[in-house]
Amino acid sequence: MSVILEVTIRHARREDVGVIVAMLADDPLGGARERIETPLPQRYFTAFETVDRDRNIQLVVAEDGEGAVVGCLQLCILPGLSSQGASRGLIEDVRVASRCRSRGIGEQMVQWAVVEARAKGCKLVELLTHHTRVDAQRFYERLGFARSHVGMTLRI
């Protein structure tokens, strides 16, 4: 790892949508899924508004010292009956701007999510990572996550 880049984690705002989508698109899997156009397709803003209204979901960004957005993460608090009615925290859409990788930004965001999930009463934090993202799996293992489950998906 190079020198750590200290970031501030804050809630995403409407004006962050463009840079978030650019980060989502900037990897081999995301590139095929997103549409980077000017202007950005309206559906991204519609989705942002849905997320923003949802009390159980927090879409956050990591901001560097100059106020540039260099990472994003979505945390969803999922209530449920199992494990004696304990909520679970689901981490999704973790991305770090390619120019800033390996500088501890992902770790700061995930640690934020763990603290936040605990504060919301969660006993477990979980995530799915594509089986080809071997570096991501190693990263999460370093943070204490176990490869305990199989993540299964169905495109519909």
Residues that bind a copy of itself (CB under 8 A): 17, 20-21, 24, 30, 33-35, 41, 43-44, 46-48, 50-51, 54, 56-57, 59, 74, 76, 78-87, 89-90, 92-93, 114, 117-118, 122-131, 137, 140-141, 143-156
C-beta of 30 vs 64, nearer to a copy of itself: 30
Nearest distance from C-beta of residue 3 to a copy of itself, angstroms: 27
For residue 69, which of 13, 135, 29 has the smallest C-alpha distance? 13
Nearest distance from C-beta of residue 111 to a copy of itself, angstroms: 11
User: 3-class DSSP state for residue 76?
Assistant: strand
Nearest distance from C-beta of residue 51 to a copy of itself, angstroms: 5
C-beta of 104 vs 140, nearer to a copy of itself: 140
For residue 34, which of 49, 48, 42, 24 has the smallest C-alpha distance? 24
C-beta of 5 vs 116, nearer to a copy of itself: 116
C-beta of 5 vs 34, nearer to a copy of itself: 34
Nearest distance from C-beta of residue 97 to a copy of itself, angstroms: 15
d(CA 113, CA 92): 10
Is there a contact between 59 and 51 (Cβ–Cβ < 8 Å)? yes
Beta-carbon contacts of residue 51 (< 8 Å; ≥ 6 apart): 57, 59, 74
DSSP annotation of 67 reads S
